[in-house]
């Protein structure tokens, strides 16, 4: 009988908590609507955070949605003297804006529906914000790293992420269709989080839902990432690359440790501690924000990120395929307190990155430009002589049989392609994209930016048509600005051939939002499309020839993109 009584009480408590979480979700939905549209809050005349913190603890499971709306709006002005905003933009990305949550909600009274509609009609015009203020401005709230945030601040954090999705993130429509219900589940987990660790797991899961490579770095701010979330306390004695469903061992960093485990270069690891590599990749995808699977595999293959391991133990049991043999082995990971081993790892990483940085395509018939190595063109050149210097470099390139733009990295100087390559080779019109920015007169929608910003204005511009072949090389490290300039090159050279792997899929400017607990949420703040409305977010830029590396290609250190370019010269 005692067990039955206990079970009934337990169920009652759980139902109460669940009901209250639903009320929190209603409160957050209403508060964000008010925050971003009501003239007094949006203009900063009233502090939205104070309104939240003052009222959220009053929410209880007995209240219905109408009670929640009343709680949020009861002290707000609802009689507006200024005329409602009239939508003047012709090309607007409005797919994200959906008010069915209150307009079609039978639980909300006609009076409250009318109230919210009236606030929206008389919404704030963000072009009126004082200079130096922006819609992204959020307060900072710092707490000791080992201390869990109080409930109302955990709820405020979740509310700000939810508001970012609904009103500031242009690619909400690409997110998982079940985001609303999943967010409520995460909200429930946030309420129940008893430690900072627990709450940071919730944060990682929530941010991963953006599926936006610009939000990838969020995990680095988590105080417990080494201990719980990503298990990065120990390092691998070998380097690897994810290929399909396995880790390909590409280099023995510590041959002695690897030898004891009978591991050698070229071996394929399919399981770690009894868990399949494919399962581990899927689990990591729930904690990391990346735009596509190719990017996820790329970051998990990056040795220094050290994100692949499923636990924080210093020993791992590996299932290895070595030629026709399959065996299980234990291997020790490197402890970062072992200075000699860490020195070996550090030297390996530096040498590896140096090789990538210094890769070059040397051929007398090719002009090779590397997007992350163009600043040197400006070295020891006076400002008034830079134009002549760049014209000379590009004129020399124009006499080559082929020009190669290696975009597998982040541009160190945007002016090289945006200004000088455009100036020398492009027709005046270079409309290579559609850029949607936040519609400040109707937040939650995004309006097309004036095409005049697509390329610089150059007086008396001349064009130098190029008859040779142009190649654009890309991979998952082609990200953001690199994707942007690659699109520009595709337009400047319409017969160019883009070669490589799927790019990062996060083109556009980065927006940064402060979250309680001293976290900073970064995400793609505008929508970038090709002129025919082809999407770039998540998909990446257009590629003419997809390149797929085999295990042996990787082990041999081949650059298939370079090989493809060199092969094409034979026919010239």
CA dist 9 and 52 (Å) reads: 31
DSSP H helices, 195-320, are 196-208, 255-260, 277-285, 293-300
CA dist 287 and 245 (Å) reads: 19
Tell me, yes or no, whether 319 lies in a domain. yes
| 443 and 503 part of one domain | yes
Tell me, yes or no, whether 223 lies in a domain. no
CA dist 11 and 91 (Å) reads: 51
- The pLDDT tens digits for 367-400 are 999 999 999 999 999 999 999 999 999 999 999 9
Tell me, yes or no, whether 490 lies in a domain. yes
Predicted pLDDT at 16: 42
Residues near 213 by beta carbon (within 8 Å), at least 6 away in sequence: 289, 290, 291, 295, 479, 480, 504, 505, 506
| 557 and 545 part of one domain | yes
Predicted pLDDT at 5: 52
Tell me, yes or no, whether 218 lies in a domain. no
Q: Which residue has the tokens 């039978």?
A: 106
Tell me, yes or no, whether 217 lies in a domain. no
Predicted pLDDT at 395: 97
Give mean pLDDT, residues 506-518. Answer: 96
Instruction: Please report, rounded to a whole number, the percentage of residues in the chain having pLDDT higher than 90.
Output: 85
Residues near 256 by beta carbon (within 8 Å), at least 6 away in sequence: none
Tell me, yes or no, whether 215 lies in a domain. no
DSSP conformational letter for 394: H
| 525 and 479 part of one domain | yes
| 1 and 128 part of one domain | yes
Last residue of a domain, one of 355, 374, 399: 355
- CATH number of the domain where residue 294 is located: 2.30.42.10
3-class secondary-structure state, position 531: coil
| 348 and 376 part of one domain | no
Q: What is the DSSP string of 305-327?
A: G----SS--SEEEEEEEETTEEE
- The pLDDT tens digits for 233-247 are 789 999 999 999 999
Q: Which residue has the tokens 């290696």?
A: 406
Bridging pattern class, strands 446-448 and 92-93: antiparallel
| 429 and 346 part of one domain | no
| 334 and 439 part of one domain | no
Contact between 395 and 357 (Cβ < 8 Å): no
Last residue of a domain, one of 320, 339, 355: 355
Tokens standing for 82?
């200024």
| 136 and 281 part of one domain | no
CA dist 481 and 430 (Å) reads: 17
Tell me, yes or no, whether 314 lies in a domain. yes
Q: Which residue has the tokens 């490579």?
A: 213
- CATH number of the domain where residue 460 is located: 3.90.226.10
Residues near 71 by beta carbon (within 8 Å), at least 6 away in sequence: 27, 55, 58, 59, 63
pTM flag (> 0.95) = no
CA dist 442 and 440 (Å) reads: 5
Last residue of a domain, one of 178, 210, 242: 210
Predicted pLDDT at 570: 80
How many domains are contained in the chain? 3
Tell me, yes or no, whether 389 lies in a domain. yes
Predicted pLDDT at 9: 44
Structural domain boundaries, residue 290: 229-355
| 394 and 488 part of one domain | yes
Q: pLDDT category, 360, cuts 50, 70, 90?
A: very high
Has residue 47 got a pLDDT over 80?
yes
Cβ atoms within 10 Å of 324's Cβ, excluding its own = 5
CA 422 vs CA 382, 402, 416, 432: distances in Å? 21, 17, 9, 12
| 339 and 372 part of one domain | no
| 521 and 374 part of one domain | yes
| 241 and 187 part of one domain | no
Per mean pLDDT, which of 198-212, 217-231, 557-571 is the most reliable?
A: 198-212
What's the chain's average pLDDT? 93
């Amino acid at each position: 009988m005692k067990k039955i009584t206990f079970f009934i009480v337990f169920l009652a408590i759980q139902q109460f908590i669940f009901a209250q979480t639903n009320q929190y979700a209603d409160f957050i939905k209403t508060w964000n609507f008010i925050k971003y549209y009501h003239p007094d809050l949006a203009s900063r005349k009233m502090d939205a955070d104070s309104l939240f913190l003052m009222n959220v603890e009053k929410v209880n499971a007995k209240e219905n949605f109408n009670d929640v709306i009343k709680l949020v709006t009861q002290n707000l002005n609802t009689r507006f003297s200024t005329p409602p905003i009239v939508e003047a933009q012709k090309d607007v990305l409005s797919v994200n804006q959906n008010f069915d949550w209150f307009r079609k909600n039978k639980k909300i009274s006609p009076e409250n529906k009318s109230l919210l509609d009236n606030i929206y009609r008389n919404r704030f015009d963000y072009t009126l914000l004082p200079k130096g203020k922006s819609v992204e401005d959020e307060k900072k709230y710092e707490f000791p790293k080992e201390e869990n945030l109080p409930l109302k601040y955990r709820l405020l954090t979740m509310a700000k992420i939810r508001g970012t999705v609904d009103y500031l993130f242009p690619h909400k429509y690409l997110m998982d269709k079940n985001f609303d219900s999943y967010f409520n589940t995460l909200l429930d987990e946030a309420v129940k989080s008893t430690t900072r660790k627990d709450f940071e797991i919730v944060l990682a899961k929530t941010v991963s839902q953006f599926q936006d490579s610009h939000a990838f770095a969020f995990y680095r701010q988590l105080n417990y990432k080494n201990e719980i979330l990503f298990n990065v306390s120990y390092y691998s004695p070998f380097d690897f690359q994810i290929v399909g469903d396995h880790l390909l061992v590409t280099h023995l960093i510590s041959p002695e440790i690897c030898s004891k485990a009978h591991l050698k270069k070229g071996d394929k690891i399919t399981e770690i501690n009894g868990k399949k590599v494919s399962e581990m990749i899927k689990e990591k995808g729930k904690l990391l924000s990346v735009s596509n699977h190719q990017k996820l595999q790329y970051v998990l293959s990056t040795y220094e990120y050290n994100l692949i391991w499923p636990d924080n133990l210093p020993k791992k049991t590996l299932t290895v395929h070595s030629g026709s043999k399959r065996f299980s082995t234990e291997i020790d990971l490197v402890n970062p307190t072992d200075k000699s081993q860490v020195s070996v790892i550090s030297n390996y990483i530096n040498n590896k990155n140096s090789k990538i940085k210094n890769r070059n395509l040397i051929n007398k018939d090719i002009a090779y430009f590397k997007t992350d190595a163009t600043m040197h063109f400006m070295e020891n050149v006076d400002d008034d002589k830079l134009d002549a210097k760049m014209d000379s470099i590009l004129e020399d390139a124009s006499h080559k049989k082929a020009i190669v733009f290696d975009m597998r990295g982040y541009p160190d100087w945007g002016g090289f392609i945006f200004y000088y390559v455009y100036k020398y080779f492009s027709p005046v019109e270079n409309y290579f994209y559609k850029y949607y920015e936040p519609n400040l007169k109707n937040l939650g929608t995004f309006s097309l930016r004036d095409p005049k910003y697509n390329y610089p204005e150059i007086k008396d511009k001349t064009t130098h048509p190029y008859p040779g072949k142009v190649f654009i090389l890309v991979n998952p490290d082609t990200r953001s600005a690199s994707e942007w300039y690659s699109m520009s090159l595709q337009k400047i050279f319409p017969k160019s051939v883009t070669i490589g792997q799927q790019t990062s899929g996060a083109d556009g400017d980065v927006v940064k939002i402060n979250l309680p607990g001293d976290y900073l949420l970064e995400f793609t703040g505008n929508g970038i499309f090709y002129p025919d409305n082809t999407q770039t977010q998540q998909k990446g830029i257009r590629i003419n020839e997809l390149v797929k590396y085999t295990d042996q290609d990787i082990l041999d250190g081949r650059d298939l993109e370079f090989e493809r370019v060199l092969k094409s010269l034979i026919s010239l």
